[in-house]
Amino acid sequence: MCGRYNITDLPGLQQLLDMVGIDLQLPPPRYNIAPTEDVLLLYDGKGGLARWWLTPSWATEVSTKYSMFNARCETLTKSRAFQKPFKSQRGIVPMSSFIEWRTDDGLKQPWLITNEAHTLAVAALWDVWQG
């Protein structure tokens, strides 16, 4: 997953909610959403806010020591943090666009990735941490 994203296409978001059968009041448009912020998560036929940073249920504390906002398909079944959520706690994070960074000649340049026809439905993993 990316490191920043936007949710600005509210008609597209409503279409996605209708498609997955979730009745939810639309949030206001948001820009430059970053890891550790609360984001809209669609899961188990409902929607709600979740912190964009996986804290496994077994963790003793919330930590940002390791990058836990981006799971790679190569490690989903190997990483202890991702194994349980990958098996049974999957969801969707709706996005209108996201930002990827590319380095050219030592300069980091942001690239906005979007699909102007549809809201993006990005795969997500979730867990419940109580500390």
Active site residues: 2, 100
Q: Is 7 exposed, middle or buried (0-12, 13-18, 19+ CB in 10 A)?
A: buried
Distance between CA atoms of residues 110 and 88, nearest Å = 34
Handedness of CA 30, 27, 126, 87 (dihedral sign): negative
Closest CA to 31 of 124, 111, 99: 99
Give the 3-state secondary structure of residue 82. helix
- Residue linked to tokens 């996605």: 16
Question: Angle 63-66-68 (CA atoms, 0-180°, nearest 5)?
Answer: 85
